[in-house]
Chains A and B, each alone.
Chain A
Amino acid sequence: MAGPLHALSLKNLKKTYAGGVEALKGISLDVAEGDFFALLGPNGAGKSTAIGIISSLVNKTSGDVTVFGRSLEREPEAVKRCLGLVPQEFNFNPFEPIGEILVNQAGYHGIPRREAWQRAEQYLNQLELWDKRRQPARRLSGGMKRRLMIARALVHRPRLLILDEPTAGVDIEIRRSMWEFIRGINREGVTIILTTHYLEEAESLCRNLAIINQGEIIENSSMRELLTRLHSESFVLNLKRPLDQLPPHEGLWLKLSEPGLLEVCVNQEQGLNPVFDYLNRNHIEVASLRNKQNRLEQLFIGLLQRDREEMAPGRAISPSSRPMGQLLQEGEGEQPRLQGDG
């Protein structure tokens, strides 16, 4: 066979819904075996549609889906055996006890009941739900329901786990423990595809990513590669004493957004030291400092903006000829002269 085995391969996948909505306009994508892959994009981009097609819940219009070398069209059962899905919407019977939900799901996969209960115990324990195994699903909290769906997706030990916004509405503490759990699953060799609107989540978990917008893939690369494209970073400094005006600041990009709030943008070679030298020289004391925006978020917004501009007819500037730094900042024209490899 040519090339490495992909956990998932999409070829020119298209979907037009009955109402005429073109949700996917021909996306192609490869996810390597063992990868932790982020599928990102704004609301309505087509993420869930793509996931629905891969997991046999949505009929495709055209294109090919291959999972571990098996064609979804020709060998649907083989594909379904190695796939685990955590859908975006709750899709369990709210009146069924959660232990039963897992055991029945295992049953549909042909796993004998006794073994199914052992697995249910294992995963419900790991996700801290075992005590609730006799409770109907509707009595769980939102975060517990999400964890229930993760346990259910794992009960047949899939090789590819697809998580469609698994942490939506989950509190920070549990979200972090879910990250740890999912990381552990990935370390055991399970390929993971994750969609999320929490970009710090994607940044900390995923190695590769694709960004999809209006049914098209507008970015597909490794997380590291993408992040190194970001040559600048913005910070917000809280000043101890409010200022009306800034002393002259040649060579630094600084802006007083409020009397006590100083925005700073530095490029990576430059670093923050010159800024602090300047502040010390002028006896400006800083109380605290924070990152203005999550890095991936900055990129994400830039990419979407570029995509939107490309779609808009009659644009004079070719997006690729514009410096990346400029693309990265939403709605801020007066950015410093930052160079990127856009």
Chain B
Amino acid sequence: MSVSTTWIAYRTIVTKEILRFARIWMQTVLPPVITTTLYFIIFGRLIGSRIGPMGGVDYINYIVPGLVLMAVITNSYANVVSSFYQAKFQHHIEELLVSPAPNWVILAGFISGGVARGVTVGSVVLAVSCVFAEPHLHSIPLTLLVFVLTSALFALGGFINAVYANSFDDITIIPNFVLTPLTYLGGVFYSIDLLSPFWQQLSLFNPILYMVNAFRYGLLGLSDIPVGIALAMTLIFITALTLVSLRLLSKGVGVKT
């Protein structure tokens, strides 16, 4: 395909993906807004005042980055896992497979859809947080970069999950049993400085910790981990998952017999 036809194919997939989650915004955008609002009220307002400051800022301000990122992670993942699994389940993935759109364009299209949802929901939640807290933007470019990289990484995770999924149960197992625990243990609600050395070391194996900290740095200028290392780790994970996804697509795993 030429550059312009490739671009049209990519844009078609992305537009379709964005319209999909926009059309069902009551299921996609609204719930995370409600959940995080509750977190802000309960942990920030009601309990936060008893906890006192963390990392030198009010507790509510400390948890904003983590809560925003949690929404970004779950939404980018959920978007791709459900969209790709449905396309597989209803067989309309075949519309793409019979078309000359190359595999990397198909992957880029789905991942961009996930990034779009992650960034949209993240931004809405960030806006809501302004009602309860006073997050100041330490670095806008870094904040945006972390938004996009985190969304891309978890969109890729959702894609791989969807490739292997054979039932609707299979697309909820990883979010429930892997993503949620990792997110909660990824320093959303606390600084790992509070942990004993053993748990601190163990936390370093959690990829989400790096993103939460990079994002916290973008918003507050605070991080448990050097930002350069956090970004590099994220990029390494993205590269690895991209290669895995392309390999799965070219072998037709889960979509061809």
Contact = CB atoms under 8 A, between A and B. Distances in A.
Interface of A: 17-18, 52, 55-59, 76-78, 80-81, 83, 85, 87, 89-94, 96, 101, 104-105, 107-113, 152, 156
Contact of B4 (A17, A18, A85, A110): A110
Contact of B95 (A76, A77, A78, A91): A91
A56 B4 contact: no
A56 B97 contact: yes
Given A57-B98, A58-B257, A77-B1, A107 B92 contact: no
B256 A58 contact: yes
Given A77-B1, A89-B91, A18 B257 contact: yes
Given A76-B100, A81-B100, A93-B87, 17 more contacts: A56-B256, A57-B94, A57-B97, A59-B257, A77-B100, A85-B98, A104-B12, A105-B95, A107-B12, A108-B96, A109-B9, A110-B1, A110-B8, A111-B5, A112-B8, A152-B95, A156-B99
B94 A91 contact: yes
Nearest to B255: A57
Given A57-B98, A83-B98, A107 B11 contact: yes
B179 interface: no
Nearest to A110: B5
A266 B91 CA distance: 50
B252 interface: yes
A85 B91 CA distance: 14
A93 B13 contact: no
B252 A59 contact: yes
Contact of B99 (A59, A91, A109): A109
A93 B16 CA distance: 12
Interface string B73-99: 000000000000011001110111111
A85 B95 CA distance: 9
Interface of B: 1-2, 4-6, 8-9, 11-13, 16, 86-87, 90-92, 94-102, 251-252, 256-257
Given A108-B12, A109-B100, A92 B252 contact: no
A77 to B, nearest CB: 4
Contacts of B96: 108
A110 B6 contact: yes
29 contacts: A18-B257, A52-B257, A57-B98, A58-B256, A59-B252, A59-B256, A59-B257, A77-B100, A77-B102, A85-B98, A92-B90, A93-B87, A93-B90, A96-B92, A101-B95, A104-B95, A105-B99, A107-B11, A107-B12, A108-B101, A109-B5, A109-B9, A110-B1, A110-B4, A110-B5, A110-B101, A113-B8, A152-B95, A156-B99
Contacts of A91: 90-92, 94-95
Contacts of B5: 109-111
Nearest to B256: A59
